[in-house]
Structure 1
Amino acid sequence: MTPTEAPLTALLLAHAPPERHDALRALPAMESLLEAHLARGREEWPAVTLAPGDFVRHLARHLPTEGRLEDALQQLRGADLYLACACAAGEPQALELFERHILQKVAARLGQLPRSAVDEVLQVARQRLLLGVAGSTPKIAEFSGRGSLSGWVRIVASRIAGELLSGDGRQQRLSEPPQALERMLSGDNPERNLLQAHSRQVVTESLQAALAELSERERALLRLHHVLGLTMDRIATMYGEPRSSVARHVVQARERLLKLTHRELATRLKLDGQELQSLLGLVRSQLDLSLHRLMDSPASS
């Protein structure tokens, strides 16, 4: 930091593209402008904890590569950027506020979609925006503040709705070749002899059929906990619900999936009661991996 560079300005220059440094240094009252944006964020979202450095680094990454920087910085939606930055960092209060003030209001503007379809759109939006896909950075980190956060999220949600309504996403979400579950069930398990090739395929098909009967919310909860590995506390924060309620619903969804799988197996396989219970016990013991195989596909992200 040079003697003329105040703290926030120095941070901005440290993380801004080098080719924009001269233009940034030429702007009048840069420190005051950055302080004003930070103050708007804190005023709008007082419960959110976000370090000034994190906010400025986020802003620096999204500076326009061309055009007038002064106009871009003056028109910045500082409060929206503040919330998006905190959500990208996983700040619990920010996630709860995003759910309540942004995502739920966006849901009301998705047109005449059935409630189940809206729930599915919201679930996919939560994953893309707040969790990322296949280890990638959460998409909300891409928000630049040049426009409203609610409008930006509405565009994301509308695109997701289009994908789901096309049928491709919904079909592939519950689709996985029988060989995937067959490989999972053919490990060093003493009960594996129960699972001949035909039986393994029937188990796969039974799980797929059972998943299809679950509600969108049940599938979402199972995916968040069993596939993505989120804690009950994190899921509760995302949904803005008590931890005990979320934990109860996850357990209920898991047990319902097993019950439906049991019914499907009993219908499809000619096994006596003991063999069927043994087979179901194997499915239960491998449920986390089964869910990962059946639900964690690129189309479901």
Structure 2
Amino acid sequence: MSPTDTVVEAFVRAVPPERGPVTGSDAVAAALGRSLERAAAAWPDLVVPADEFAAWLGARLPGGAEPAVALDELRVEDLYLACACARADPRAIAALEHHHGPGLQRALSRVSDPHLRPEDLAQIVRHKLLVGDETSDPVIAQYAGQGGLGAWLRVVGLRTAFNATRRKQPQLGERRDVASELDEVAEQLDDPELGYIRERYQAQFREAFAEAAGALGSRPRNLLRQAVVHGLSVRELGRMYGVHYATASRWLAEARRTLVAGTRERLRGRLEVSEDELQSIMRLIGSDFDITLARVLRTMG
């Protein structure tokens, strides 16, 4: 598939300026065409306008690599489903629930609360993911395509569930923080490949991640802390910084991209692995991004 000039332009315009200039080169156009083909092949029953999905990809283009390479590395199939869900497409929502609902439900079954029925807890998570509220967009719009959608949904669902139970039980001041609980549950999720990667590279990854987080400027580090540790929405962040929520969203996305790129560069210096293996490590461990980030940020000023 060769994307039209309009589609390529939509992609280029959506790339955050903080990432650096991106042009509609032949390589970028070819990579974008491959991405559109992969997405359409994965979800033939879903329809997202090509220019809209191209803009969705552009807004989530990670740093640290050439644009065409970075585009090829995105989980475009998962991003297409997430984009369609964010558009409130009922077929996409049904597909999400069919493919990822059972895994999310198994993860949520580990959370118990005498004040919330399991079906109520599941509804809270579903609403947060797919509907949002008057102060925030659907959380699924925050999926960046750098880790598997299923693992990302489990992490977000668990964090939402734990936050809901904490609000229902304010008297439990001795309860361990959400990040610790999430870490324990995530370690038990059935993912042999991720388990192997954790066991082999966990120490190096966490060192590289902590160094990259420490190298962030104060604003991006504070944005990440406020979003991940304190659970503020982009609208709340916008009000806090006196900017439109779209600007806060771009800042937050760029902070994440910078952190991922910094972690990748530091890992490259530590591990004797091929570039393909390095990308696999980043994708697999990246599915626990928020868990690791919350733990690291809690130790930083």
TM-score, with structure 1 as normaliser: 0.49
**Bigger-Rg structure (1/2):** 1
